[in-house]
Chain A
Amino acid sequence: MTVHNLYLFDRNGVCLYYSEWHRKKQAGIPKEEEYKLMYGMLFSIRSFVSKMSPLDMKDGFLAFQTSRYKLHYYETPTGIKVVMNTDLGVGPIRDVLHHIYSALYVELVVKNPLCPLGQTVQSELFRSRLDSYVRSLPFFSARAG
Chain B
Amino acid sequence: MADEALFLLLHNEMVSGVYKSAEQGEVENGRCITKLENMGFRVGQGLIERRNTVLLLVDLFRFTKDTARFKDELDIMKFICKDFWTTVFKKQIDNLRTNHQGIYVLQDNKFRLLTQMSAGKQYLEHASKYLAFTCGLIRGGLSNLGIKSIVTAEVSSMPACKFQVMIQKL
Interface on A for B, CB 8 Å cutoff? Answer: 107-108, 111-114, 123-125, 128
Q: Are B122 and A111 neighbours in the complex by a CB distance under 8 Å?
A: no
Interface SS majority for chain B: helix
21 A-B contact pairs sorted by A residue (CB < 8 Å): A111-B5, A111-B9, A111-B12, A112-B116, A113-B12, A113-B13, A113-B16, A113-B117, A114-B117, A114-B123, A114-B126, A123-B118, A123-B123, A124-B118, A124-B119, A124-B120, A125-B117, A125-B118, A125-B119, A125-B122, A128-B119
Contact, CB under 8 Å: A108 / B116: yes
Q: Do A113 and B15 touch across chains, with their CB atoms under 8 A apart?
A: yes
Report the minimal beta-carbon distance from A91 to chain B, rounded to whole angstroms. Answer: 30
Question: Which residues of chain A are within 8 angstroms of B79 by Cβ–Cβ distance?
Answer: none
Please tell me if the beta carbons of A111 and B126 are within 8 angstroms of each other in the complex. no
Give the residue name and chain of the A residue nearest to B16 (CB): A113
CB contacts (< 8 Å) of B116 on chain A: these are 107-108, 111-112, 125
What residues of chain B lie closer than 8 Å to A114, measured between beta carbons? Answer: 117, 123, 126
The residues of A that contact B117 with a CB separation of less than 8 Å are 112-114, 123, 125
